[in-house]
Amino acid sequence: MLNVSPSDFVVKSAFAKIMCEPAWKWQKREKPLQNYDLFYVWSGEGEVVRNGTPYEVRSGSCFLFRPGDETTATHNAQKPLVLTYIHFDIRSVPQEVPNPYRVLPEQDAIEMERLLTRYVRLFLGKAFAAEEEAQLLLKQLMIHLLRHDRTASDEMDSDGLAQPYRTKRTGEGSVQQKEAIREVANYVQLHAGKPHRLEDLAARANLSPRYFSAKFKELIGESVQDYVIRMRLERAEHLLRYAGMSVSEVAGVLGYRDVFFFSRQFKQHTGKSPSELR
């Protein structure tokens, strides 16, 4: 969709970020999809069937359904899906369309979630020029997906589907390891205040600490310790900016016993002291 102008994107009223009810399921429609549907999973577990092909979905799973697709979905009621969906149309004919499915790695997922959150919030507050900005965001989202698809092109089959994430593929063990490591990374992000020990995180991924540490750095791009600290400090920055908490309160919530050590570490990583940011 690189050739598509932002003004060619047609914003639809069907969009939301939702937590699915325990009995939720996406039943097959009488008619196939009439437009594009960007479908992103924040958390939970489930299965999506697109044109007869099943996909196990979890945090980071991202679909771009196309006009004519037939889809159904279910989820694990004990781990309900939290997802964002955005329907849209395109006035012109796109020359390059993102692949129907991928699982975004941690770094790509963070940017994707930022764009999706911005899109949904635009219309909640009836922001000025919301539709124009939504068109720009749709263009950004499509570029984001195309960039990821090109990076992962060596893992794609002739149908444009990521081979490691189809069900019952070869190399399933290594794929499961990657998914386990991404799940651990997501767990650390969601529980930034916990005292994460390497041994505990490795056990969560069912790997030895040494192997987990090496594979984590290879996949996520930084060591386990650096990642834990970064997630903790990013959470601290959010709490200082938006939660109205004091520096000592934020330090306590995130597991720092020494508020002065917290302040030094925060400034070292962000360039500002917690009190300056707050």
Instruction: Give the pLDDT of residue 153.
Output: 60
Instruction: Give the pLDDT of residue 166.
Output: 39
- Pick the last residue of a domain from 145, 165, 185: 165
Same structural domain for residues 146 and 17? Answer: yes
Same structural domain for residues 36 and 144? Answer: yes
Same structural domain for residues 23 and 100? Answer: yes
Same structural domain for residues 142 and 35? Answer: yes
Stretches where the chain sits below pLDDT 70 are: 152-174, 278
Same structural domain for residues 200 and 158? Answer: no
Instruction: Give the pLDDT of residue 65.
Output: 97
Same structural domain for residues 155 and 260? Answer: no
Same structural domain for residues 157 and 36? Answer: yes
Query: What DSSP string describes 175-188?
Result: HHHHHHHHHHHHHH
User: How many domains are there within the chain?
Assistant: 2
In a domain, 1, yes or no: no
Same structural domain for residues 78 and 96? Answer: yes
Instruction: Give the pLDDT of residue 245.
Output: 84
Instruction: Give the pLDDT of residue 108.
Output: 82
Same structural domain for residues 137 and 188? Answer: no
In a domain, 138, yes or no: yes
Instruction: Give the pLDDT of residue 66.
Output: 96
Which structural domain, as residue segments, surrounds residue 103?
6-165
Instruction: Give the pLDDT of residue 179.
Output: 80
- Going edge to edge, which strands form the sheet with 46-50? 25-26, 71-75, 46-50, 53-57
Instruction: Give the pLDDT of residue 84.
Output: 95
Nearest to 124 by CA among 15, 50, 6, 237: 15
Is 67 strand, coil or helix?
coil
Same structural domain for residues 270 and 188? Answer: yes
The single residue listed with the structure tokens 């092109």 is 153
Same structural domain for residues 126 and 70? Answer: yes
In a domain, 199, yes or no: yes
The residue length of the chain stands at 278
Residue 21 sits in a domain whose CATH number is: 2.60.120.280
Instruction: Give the pLDDT of residue 174.
Output: 66
Same structural domain for residues 124 and 96? Answer: yes
- CA end-to-end span of the chain: 41
Q: What is the pTM of this model?
A: 0.58
- Pick the last residue of a domain from 130, 165, 200: 165
Instruction: Give the pLDDT of residue 189.
Output: 86
Residue 254 sits in a domain whose CATH number is: 1.10.10.60
